[in-house]
Amino acid sequence: MSDVTATTTAKDKRVRFDIKTAGPAIALLLLCIIGFLLNPAFLSEGNLTNLLTRSAFIGIIAVGATFVITAGGIDLSVGSMAAAIAGVMIIIMNSAMETLGPGLATVLLGCGCSILLGLGAGWINGVLTTKGKIEAFIVTLGTMGIYRSLVTYFADGGTLSLDFAIRGVYRPVYYGSVFGLPAPVWVFIVVSICGWLLMNRTAFGRYCTAIGSNESVAKYSAIKVDRIKTMTYVIQGLCVSLATVIYVPRLGSASASTGVMWELEAIAAVIIGGTVLKGGYGRIGGTILGALILTTIGNILNFTDLISNYLNGTMQGLIIIIAVWLQRGDWGKAKANKS
Amino acid sequence: MMFDEARETAPVLKADHISKSFGSVPVLFSVSMDIHPGEVHALIGENGAGKSTLMKILSGFHAPTSGRILFDNHEVALPPDGEAEKLGIVLIHQELNLAEQMTVEENIFLGRELTHRGMLQRDKMRQMVSGYLEDIGVDISPSVRISDLSIAEKQMVEVAKAISRNARVLIMDEPTAVLTEAETELFFRQVERLKSKGVAIVFVSHKLSEVKQIADRVTILRDGQWIGSQVAEALTPDAMAQMMVGRELSDLYPPMHEADVDAVRVLEVRDLCASGVRNVSFDLRKGEILGFSGLIGSGRTAVFEAVCGLKSISSGQVLVDGVETRFDTVATARDAGLAYLTKDRKAKGLLLDKQMQPNLTLFALPKFIRRFGLDAAAEEKALERAIRRFDIRTRDANINVGDMSGGNQQKLLLAKVMESEPRIVIIDEPTRGIDVGTKQQIYHFIAALAAEGVSVVIISSEMPEVIGISHRVVVMREGQVMGVLTGDDINENEIVRYAAGLKRESKG
C-alpha cells in the first residue's frame, strides 16, 4: 500500500475509491487467510459449501434491506416476519396435506403462500411509513413485535412442526445440490444478481438512491416517492419470504426463537458492505460480502479454540464498528487536505 | 473618506500573495487583500472566481498553498475548522450555522455556556444576549426558537453571535442573497453600527448596487486572479461588472422578440385556490415569457406548485392546451410537458452529494430507460450535450454537485429540467445568488427558449430581471393576482404599487 503516496493526485483519488469499495472484499480475503492459518480444514470444500449455505438466509434478506436502507428507510421487522411466515407456512402445509397429500403440490402451495405473505407484510410496512407518515423505525419496531407474538400465538408458546411426510418432499430445497452447489446458494446467487441489476442498472435503483440522498429533490424531480419507498419494503418482504422458503426445510419447524436477531445481522451486512445507513448510497455487492463476512467470523470461531465461540457477537460487533470507521474516509481526506 | 481613515490604521487582517490549489487545480493566483478595522470591504467576482476560497483562507477553513496571512501585522497560520473565531475572525456561511431547535440564547452561547458549579447561568446568559441583540438593533427575544425566525432574523442572530465572540473581522458570504429589500436595509444599518465600533467587515455579494451603497472598498477577483482593490465611491456598478467579467456587459438582457398576441393559449388557470393561493387566474401563450412579481410569500411559488402537482388544489381549473387537467403528481405534469424549476436548488433542486450525471437525468429518467435498464451511453451523451449547451464549467466532471459554484449548479438545474423537453417551463428565481456573467447567459437562454416556442414563466423577486425579460408581468399580493402589466406599464413603479396593494386591477 506504500506506493499509493507516490502516485499522482488523480490516480490517488481512484486508488482511494477502490480501497473504499474493495474494503469488504479485502476483509473477507483476510478472514479466509486467518481461517486457513488457524485450521486448514477451513478451506475444505465441505466447509465452504456449509459457509455459503449458512450465509444464504442473512444474505438474501440483506439484499432486500439494501434497498430499504438506500432509500432512507429501515426495516427492523424482518426476523419476526420470517418467523411468522415460517409458522403460517407450516400450518398451511400441514392442513393442506389432508386434501393434497404429502406431495409437491402441498410444498408449492406453502411456498406460494410464503411469497404472498412476504409481499403483503412488506407492503404493510411500506404503506404505514409512506401513507401513514410514521417513521420507518417506529413502524417496523411495531410490526416486529406483532409478527413475533403471532408466531408464538400460532405455536401456542411452543413449536410448530412440519409433518414428517412433507419434510421428505421439501428437504432437498435446503439439503439438495444442483451442479455441485446447495440449493440455498443458488437462490442467494439469483437474488444477488437480480438485486444488483435492479440497484445499478434500472431507474428504480436510481430513484432509491435519489430518495435516500434527498427526498425533497426526489419529489421535485417527478419521482413518485411514496410508491418507490413502498416498493423497497415489498422487495424486502419478498426477500424475507424467499429466505423463509429455504429455511423451513432445514429444521422443519418454527417457534418464537426463529429468526431472532436476523434484522440486526441483515442491517450489519448492509453496513459492512458500504451502504450508508442514512441512505443515498447503496451497494448490493458489498452487502453480499458483508453477509459472507458475518458468517465467516462465526465459522472461524467454530474452528478454533483461540477465542470462545460465545464471543461471536463481540467479533461481529467489532467488525461492524471497524468497517464503518474505515469507510468514513476522513483519514484519507485529512491527508489530502494537508498537502 | 473612510478609506483615508482606514489607511492610517494598520490592517487587522492581510492576505499577502495567497495562492491556493486543490490537488493539481489552481484556484487562486497570488491574491492580496488587506482589511482594515472599521471598513466594509466587498469581495466581488463571478462564480468560480475564487471568492469563497479566499474567504475560507482568511478565516482558516483552508490553508493557503503559498503566501502569507498577516493578523495584526504578524504572520500567522490560522487554526482550522472555525477555531479562528477565538482570534476574532468569524465567517458567517451562506447556509447559516444555527441549531434550529434551540433558542437564540442557547445558540449564541453554544459551546461556551456560562456555568456556575456545573449549572447553567441562564439568566445571566439571557441578559447578555439581550444586550448583544440591542447592540445591533434587532428586536428578537433571546428565548425564541431559531426555527420560528425568518431567514433575515436568523442572519441577525449569526451577527449577534459573532459580536458575542468579540469578532474583529466579520466575513460574510452573500448575506443579502435571501433578504428582501426592507430586510437588507435593516441589515445595512446593523453593518454601519458594527463598522462604527471598529469591526472590519468583509462581504461577498452579487448585488452590485448594494456593494456601491454599503462598501468602503471593493476587491475584484476574476478566474482566481486579483484584478484590483478600489475605493467603492470611485466605481459604478457597471464598472464593477466590467472588471468582474472582463468584457462589456451592455446587453445583460437579450433583445426581446415581439410576443405574438394571437398565439395559442397553452396554459390557462381559472380561479385557482390552494393553501396560500386565492382565486388566481391567468393565461400563458405559446412562446411567451410571463413574469410573476410580488413580495416574498405573496403566493407566486404556491400557484405553480399547485399547478404542477406538488401541492393540492382546493378549487379552480387548470387548462393545458384548452383541455382541463389536474396533475396529481409531478410526473404527470412532466409527461404533459410542464416543468417547474425550484428556487431552492440546494434543498429541492439537486442531489448535492452526487455527481452531475445522476442529477442531470433524474427528472427525465424514463426517457433513458431502454428495455428494463438505464441506457448509460445515452446518459453520458446527455451530460456532454448539457455541459456544452449550458456552458457548465467544473474543475473535474466527477466532483459532487455540492462542490460546484452556485452559477454552475443553477445551469445544471436548468439542464436537468430541460432534459424533459418541456413546452411550458416555470423558473422560480432563475438567477438567485449567481454572478452577473452567468445571469446574462441564463437570460439569453430563456429568450432563446421562448423564441423556439416554449412558454416560460419567470417568478422573480429581482425587479430589473422581471422587467428585463418578460413580455407580460403578473403581480401578486397575499395569494391574489393584483394586476397584469404589459408593454410600457412594465416598470418598477407600477409593479411596486400593485405589489404593495396600492393599486388593483378591477376584473369582472
What Rg value do the Cα atoms of chain A yield, rounded? 21
Give the predicted TM-score (pTM) of the model. Answer: 0.78
Instruction: Mark yes or no for CB contact A217/B349 under 8 Å.
Output: yes
Task: Kindly state whether residue B489 falls inside one of the protein's structural domains.
Answer: yes
Nearest CB partner across the interface for A216, out of B334, B347, B368: B347
Q: How far is B362 from chain A (nearest CA, A)?
A: 6
Strand partners, B226: B221
Q: How far is A28 from chain B (nearest CA, A)?
A: 28
Give the H/E segment covering residue A113. Answer: helix A104-130
Collect all residues of chain B within an 8 Å Cβ-Cβ radius of residue A224.
329, 331
CA distance A137 to A267: 13
Q: How far is A232 from chain B (nearest CA, A)?
A: 17
Q: How far is A294 from chain B (nearest CA, A)?
A: 29
For residues A188-215, give the mean pLDDT: 94
CA distance B193 to B215: 14
pLDDT for residue A9: 39
The tally of domains found in chain B comes to: 3
Task: Kindly state whether residue B488 falls inside one of the protein's structural domains.
Answer: yes
pLDDT for residue A249: 92
Residue B457 has which C-alpha cell? 414563466
Nearest CB partner across the interface for A222, out of B24, B363, B372: B363
pLDDT surpasses 80 at A277: yes
Task: Kindly state whether residue B441 falls inside one of the protein's structural domains.
Answer: yes
Domain co-membership, B381 together with B438: no
Instruction: Mark yes or no for CB contact B365/A203 under 8 Å.
Output: yes
The SS3 call for residue A319 is helix
Domain co-membership, B238 together with B262: no
Instruction: Mark yes or no for CB contact B373/A197 under 8 Å.
Output: yes
Could you tell me which residues come within 8 angstroms of residue A327 by beta carbon, excluding any fewer than 6 positions away? A20, A23, A274
The SS3 call for residue B67 is strand
Domain co-membership, B191 together with B297: no
Domain co-membership, B51 together with B63: yes
pLDDT band at A329 (very low <50, low <70, confident <90, very high): low
What secondary structure letter does DSSP report for B346?
I
What are the strands, taking DSSP E only, across chain A? 159-161, 177-178, 181-182, 253-255
pLDDT band at A18 (very low <50, low <70, confident <90, very high): low
A33: how many CB neighbours lie within 10 A of its CB?
12
Domain co-membership, B380 together with B496: no
Domain co-membership, B391 together with B498: no
Instruction: Mark yes or no for CB contact B342/A220 under 8 Å.
Output: yes
Strand partners, B230: B218
From B421, B442, B458, give the residue that closes a domain.
B421
Collect all residues of chain A within an 8 Å Cβ-Cβ radius of residue B63.
337
- Mutation to test the B interface, candidates A12, A13, A220, A228, most B Cβ within 10 Å: A220
Give the H/E segment covering residue B373. Answer: strand B373-374
CA distance A133 to A119: 20
pLDDT along chain B (508 residues), means of 10: 54 89 80 90 83 88 89 84 81 81 86 81 86 79 85 83 85 82 82 87 86 90 86 84 71 76 89 92 93 86 93 92 91 94 91 93 92 88 92 84 88 94 94 83 92 93 86 91 89 82 69
Cα angle value B299/B302/B306 (rounded, 5°): 140
Q: What ipTM was estimated for this complex?
A: 0.82
pLDDT digits (tens, 9 = 90+) for A206-255: 999 999 999 999 999 999 999 999 999 999 999 999 999 999 999 889 99
Q: How far is B19 from chain A (nearest CA, A)?
A: 14
pLDDT surpasses 70 at A336: no
pLDDT for residue A6: 34
**Strands of the sheet with B338-341, listed across from one edge:** B338-341, B424-428, B455-459, B289-294, B472-477, B480-486
Domain co-membership, B56 together with B148: yes
User: For the domain that residue B105 is a member of, what is the CATH number?
Assistant: 3.40.50.300
Q: Is B362 on the interface with A (CB under 8 A)?
A: yes
- Mutation to test the B interface, candidates A221, A223, A228, most B Cβ within 10 Å: A221
Looking only at the bridges linking them, the beta strands covering B115-116 and B119-120 are antiparallel
Which residue has 458475518 as its cell numbers?
A294
Domain co-membership, B39 together with B65: yes
**C-alpha to C-alpha distances, B497 to B400, B407, B469, B476, nearest whole angstrom:** 44, 32, 20, 11
- For residue B460, what are the domain limits? 251-337+423-508
Domain co-membership, B54 together with B109: yes
Looking only at the bridges linking them, the beta strands covering B455-459 and B289-294 are parallel
Domain ranges of chain A: 52-332
What Rg value do the Cα atoms of chain B yield, rounded? 24
From B245, B264, B295, give the residue that closes a domain.
B245
A170 vs B111: which has the higher pLDDT: A170
Q: Is B234 on the interface with A (CB under 8 A)?
A: no
List the single residue in A with minimal CA-CA distance to B327: A222
- What are the counts of helices (DSSP H) followed by strands (DSSP E) for chain B? 16, 24
Q: Is B264 on the interface with A (CB under 8 A)?
A: no
Q: How far is A209 from chain B (nearest CA, A)?
A: 10
From B194, B226, B245, give the residue that closes a domain.
B245
Could you tell me which residues come within 8 angstroms of residue B365 by beta carbon, excluding any fewer than 6 positions away? A203, A206, A207, B374
Interface of A with B (CB under 8 A): 8-10, 13, 197, 201-203, 206-207, 209-210, 213-214, 216-224, 280-281, 336-337
Nearest CB partner across the interface for A224, out of B331, B354, B368: B331
Domain co-membership, B415 together with B438: no
**CATH architecture of residue range(s) A52-332:** Orthogonal Bundle (1.10)
Domain co-membership, B17 together with B96: yes
pLDDT for residue B385: 93
pLDDT surpasses 90 at A83: yes
- Taken in order B246, B250, B252, B256, the sign of the CA dihedral is negative
Task: Kindly state whether residue B342 falls inside one of the protein's structural domains.
Answer: no
What stretches of B351-491 show up as alpha helix (H) in DSSP?
A: 356-362, 376-390, 406-418, 436-451, 463-469
CA distance B468 to B293: 12
Domain co-membership, B259 together with B239: no
Give burial (CB, 10 Å; 0-12/13-18/19+) of B170: buried
Could you tell me which residues come within 8 angstroms of residue B139 by beta carbon, excluding any fewer than 6 positions away? B133
